[in-house]
C-alpha cells in the first residue's frame, strides 16, 4: 500500500497550502482557484482550512471538484481521499490480485481495517469474473 492509498483529504490539502512562512499558497490564494467547473461553486478560505485541518464539514461533490481544481489534481484521487476522511472507506485491492494478461485492476471500497479474508463473497465474485464465468 502506498501513501497515496491512505491519504485523506486533509493530508492532500495540508501538504499543498496554508503553512505560514513557506512558499505554499495561503488558503485565500487557494480559494481563488477553487472553483467547481460544473456548478461554479467556490468555497471560502475558511471552509478550505477546515477541511485541511480535519474538521467535520458538510462534504458534497461540488466542494470536492472545487478542491481538485484548486490543486490541479485528478478528481478521482480527491474523491478517494474525501471518502477516506469523511466516511471511513478504504479503496484498494484487499485480495492482492495478481495482474492478468489484460492488466485488469481490482479496487474494492470497504471499511477501514477489513482485509480480503473478511469479504469471501467479494473475493469469489472477483475470481469468477477473472475466469470469465457467470458473475450473477
What is the grid cell recorded at 62? 461540488
User: Which pTM does this prediction carry?
Assistant: 0.68
Q: Flag whether pLDDT at 30 surpasses 90.
A: yes
More confident residue, 63 or 122: 63
pLDDT digits (tens, 9 = 90+) for 49-68: 999 999 999 999 999 999 99
The predicted pLDDT at position 19 comes to 75
Question: Best-predicted range by mean pLDDT among 4-8, 23-27, 122-126?
Answer: 23-27
Q: Scan for cell 467556490, then name that residue.
A: 42
28-32: long-range contacts, CB 8 A cutoff, minimum separation 24: 30/70, 30/71, 31/70
Q: Flag whether pLDDT at 86 surpasses 90.
A: no
Amino acid at each position: 500500500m502506498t501513501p497515496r492509498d491512505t491519504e485523506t483529504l486533509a493530508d492532500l490539502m495540508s501538504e499543498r497550502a496554508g503553512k505560514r512562512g513557506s512558499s505554499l499558497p495561503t488558503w485565500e490564494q487557494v480559494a481563488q482557484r477553487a472553483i467547481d467547473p460544473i456548478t461554479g461553486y467556490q468555497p471560502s478560505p475558511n471552509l478550505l482550512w477546515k477541511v485541511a485541518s480535519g474538521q467535520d464539514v458538510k462534504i458534497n461533490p461540488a466542494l470536492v471538484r472545487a478542491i481538485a481544481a484548486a490543486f490541479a489534481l485528478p478528481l478521482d484521487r480527491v474523491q478517494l481521499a474525501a471518502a477516506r476522511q469523511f466516511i471511513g472507506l478504504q479503496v484498494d485491492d484487499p485480495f492482492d490480485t495478481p495482474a492478468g494478461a489484460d492488466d485488469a485492476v481490482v479496487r474494492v471500497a470497504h471499511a477501514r481495517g477489513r482485509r480480503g479474508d473478511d469479504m469471501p463473497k467479494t473475493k469469489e465474485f472477483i475470481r469468477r469474473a477473472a475466469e470469465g464465468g457467470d458473475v450473477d
